[in-house]
Amino acid sequence: MMPAEFAIATEGLTKVFRNRWTGKEIRAVEGISLRVTRGATFGLLGPNGAGKTTFVKMLLSSAHPTAGRATVFGRDSREPEARRCIGYLPENHRFPTYMTGAGMLDFYGALSGMDAATRRKRIPGLLVTVGLETWGGVRLGKYSKGMLQRIGLAQALIHEPTLLILDEPSDGVDPIGRRQIRDILHTLEQKGVTIFLNSHLLAEVELFCRDVAIIHKGKVALEGTVKDLTAGSGYRVEAEKVPDQLQSQLRAQAKAVASRNGSVEFLFANREEANRAVDLLRAEQCEIETVGRTNSTLEDVFVRTVNAQ
């Protein structure tokens, strides 16, 4: 029994697909052990075919692990009851087009164990939350892609889950809709809902998630908080009107130098070197534009990690 303080906990989770005829094996997920704490905002990243979706499917029991196990709030993920607290929005979902928005929420609400009275009470509010209050009675066949994403999110929220698993939630959504989705997720985060995001949009994950894991070729390649992973160890000093002599002097000390539109940017390995450079620049009456720590973007981290494998 894994401790229930983790919303998701996996141990050596492995999935091997075997071709029925040739017997050829594809190791989609290989020994992933991951912990997602309660109330966390967790991003799962990885290039196409890395095994992200297979991993999520094993959490939801739509794919059976070849080895290892997964628990959701301490409960074996294979038990249907373990899924009662999960709200899920799959990637490339295909909602039945014969349903109306409200009808679809009612159907999935019933499957999630909600009684009719509770569903009736909750659906109008949820439609307002996702900005589809006037579309509840319209068939899903008439919805745009962005609207389908939003009604899909409402479907995932219908039974007030404590764990939300979203696979590419912003796919096909315009910037305003994207912002709206992010706001909804922020509200849920404040309520203590654990949010597990599977997305290609690194900037979105960086904006929203506290913890991330990068998986590559079925294995966890990197794991940590976004803050730690993107924090750089160097310092950046940008100044204008730097005399050539001083520029040459600082160039010799800096890790990197870049010149643009009359200003020069120096990258130093540590704070002491950056401070010394600032002293020299001030002594020469140079205009200092910025001084700060260097940061990597999540994209930099992602590319570095994937290329290093």
Partner 1 sequence: MLNNLRVTGALVRDTFREAFARKIFWGFAGCSTALILFFLFIMKIDVVEGAVATVSLFGKTSDTQDVARLVRQVHGGLAAFLFTAGMFLAVFASAGLIPTVFEPGRIELLLSKPVARHHILLGRYLGNLLVVAANVFYLVIAVWLIFGLKTGVWTFGFLWSSVLTVFVFAILLTVVLLIGVLWESAVVATMVTFGILILSPILAQKYTIERLLTSEWSRNVVRGLYYVLPKVFDLGNMARQIVLGDPITSWMPVWSSLLFGVVVLSGGLFAFSRRNY
Residue 101 contacts residue 151 (beta carbons within 8 Å) = yes
In the complex with partner 1, which residue's Cβ is closer, 93 or 200? 93
Q: Considering the rule CB under 8 A, would residue 108 count as an interface residue with partner 1?
A: yes
Which residue shows structure tokens 């509770």? 118
State in angstroms the smallest separation of the CB of 174 from partner 1. 21
In the complex with partner 1, which residue's Cβ is closer, 99 or 269? 99
Using CB under 8 A, which of 4, 26, 67, 111 touches partner 1? Answer: 111
State in angstroms the smallest separation of the CB of 28 from partner 1. 10
Q: Considering the rule CB under 8 A, would residue 22 count as an interface residue with partner 1?
A: no
User: Which whole-number Å values give the CA distances from 197 to 84, 185, 236, in the listed order?
Assistant: 19, 10, 32
Question: What is the Rg, in whole angstroms, of the alpha carbon atoms belonging to the chain?
Answer: 24
State in angstroms the smallest separation of the CB of 112 from partner 1. 6
Using CB under 8 A, which of 37, 38, 47, 61 touches partner 1? Answer: 61
State in angstroms the smallest separation of the CB of 255 from partner 1. 47
**Is 275 exposed, middle or buried, given 0-12, 13-18 or 19+ CB atoms closer than 10 A?**
middle
Residue 105 contacts residue 154 (beta carbons within 8 Å) = yes
* Amino acid (1-letter code) at residue 241: K
Q: Give start and end residues of each alpha helix (H) in the chain.
A: 52-59, 101-111, 116-129, 145-157, 175-190, 202-208, 226-230, 244-253, 271-283, 298-308
Q: Considering the rule CB under 8 A, would residue 243 count as an interface residue with partner 1?
A: no
With contacts defined by CB under 8 A, name the span among 43-51, 59-67, 171-179, 257-265 that binds partner 1: 59-67
Instruction: Give SS3 for 293.
Output: strand
Q: Considering the rule CB under 8 A, would residue 95 count as an interface residue with partner 1?
A: yes
In the complex with partner 1, which residue's Cβ is closer, 105 or 267? 105
State in angstroms the smallest separation of the CB of 68 from partner 1. 15
Q: What are phi and psi of 36, to 5 degrees?
A: -120, 115
Using CB under 8 A, which of 39, 68, 76, 110 touches partner 1? Answer: 110
Residue 16 contacts residue 9 (beta carbons within 8 Å) = no
Using CB under 8 A, which of 69, 84, 210, 217 touches partner 1? Answer: 84
Using CB under 8 A, which of 24, 64, 175, 233 touches partner 1? Answer: 64
Q: Considering the rule CB under 8 A, would residue 216 count as an interface residue with partner 1?
A: no
Angle between helices 145-157 and 116-129 (to 10 degrees): 140
Q: Specify the DSSP class assigned to residue 81.
A: G
Q: Considering the rule CB under 8 A, would residue 269 count as an interface residue with partner 1?
A: no
CA 259 to CA 69: how far, in whole Å?
A: 53
Using CB under 8 A, which of 96, 124, 125, 243 touches partner 1? Answer: 96
In the complex with partner 1, which residue's Cβ is closer, 107 or 288? 107
State in angstroms the smallest separation of the CB of 307 from partner 1. 31
DSSP β-ladder status, 287-295 and 231-240: antiparallel
Instruction: Give SS3 for 19.
Output: coil
Q: Considering the rule CB under 8 A, would residue 81 count as an interface residue with partner 1?
A: yes
Q: What are phi and psi of 263, to 5 degrees?
A: -110, 155
State in angstroms the smallest separation of the CB of 113 from partner 1. 5
Residues of the shown chain interacting with partner 1 in the complex, contacts defined by CB under 8 A: 17, 57, 60-64, 80-84, 86, 88, 90, 92-99, 103, 107-108, 110-113, 115, 155, 165
